[in-house]
Amino acid sequence: MPLLLAAGLSLVSGAVLSMYSGGFALQAVGLRVPRALAVLVAALLVTGVAGVLLYLGTDARELMRDIVTTLAVPVAAWAGIFAAEMMIRNRRFHAPSLLARGGVYPDFRWVNFIGLFAVSAVGFGLTSATLAGLGWQGFLFPVLGIAADDPLATSDIGVLVALLLGLVIPLVSAIPTIRRQEDAKPPEE
């Protein structure tokens, strides 16, 4: 009984924390509603998605694998870009320039922005998915002459490729820009 109670309370607390965080996320993307209503909207969205997945009768393992892999590709690309930019820097960031426009840093860097999408596309081309809406993944395997039943085609190597290509983009394109940012005199505060 104590084990069941502990497991049940863990699940309930995890769900409550997830809904609370979901409410924050909805407000962060621009939903202008009170906090309690944002949590309710997040709960309804999660319930709706769960209902659709139950209706479709998908296998939970396949679903988790495909969704996690699909999310991992752009996250790996972003992590590579971010990590490379941090490795290149010799000085700390100028905090006021990060918090206001017109400082040392541009609003965003086009090379990294476009690179994120290009690297994600390559990563998706080297992953596989069995869910109905994600069957387009793995589109680069036939181009590379890799059969669908080949172990490499089901290895989801695209996540690693996205990370490595994400690391390369700033190393190739950002070093002069970052050095200029580090040498720039910040505007008067």
5-38 pLDDT per residue, tens: 888 888 888 888 888 888 888 888 888 889 889 9
How far is 10 from 175, CA to CA, in rounded Å?
47
The whole-number pLDDT of residue 52 equals 79
Residues 6+ apart with CB under 8 A from 136: 124
Task: Give the CA distances from residue 73 to residues 23, 126, 138, in Å, rounded to whole numbers and listed in that order.
Answer: 25, 10, 12
How far is 123 from 141, CA to CA, in rounded Å?
11
Residues 6+ apart with CB under 8 A from 124: 70, 73, 136, 137, 139, 158
Predicted TM-score (pTM) of this structure:
0.70
What is the pLDDT confidence band of residue 163, given thresholds at 50, 70 and 90?
A: very high
Q: Which two tokens stand for residue 181?
A: 């940012």
How far is 121 from 10, CA to CA, in rounded Å?
38
> What does the mean pLDDT of the chain come to?
86
137-150 pLDDT per residue, tens: 989 999 999 888 88
Q: How many CA atoms lie within 13 A of 39 on its CB side?
A: 10
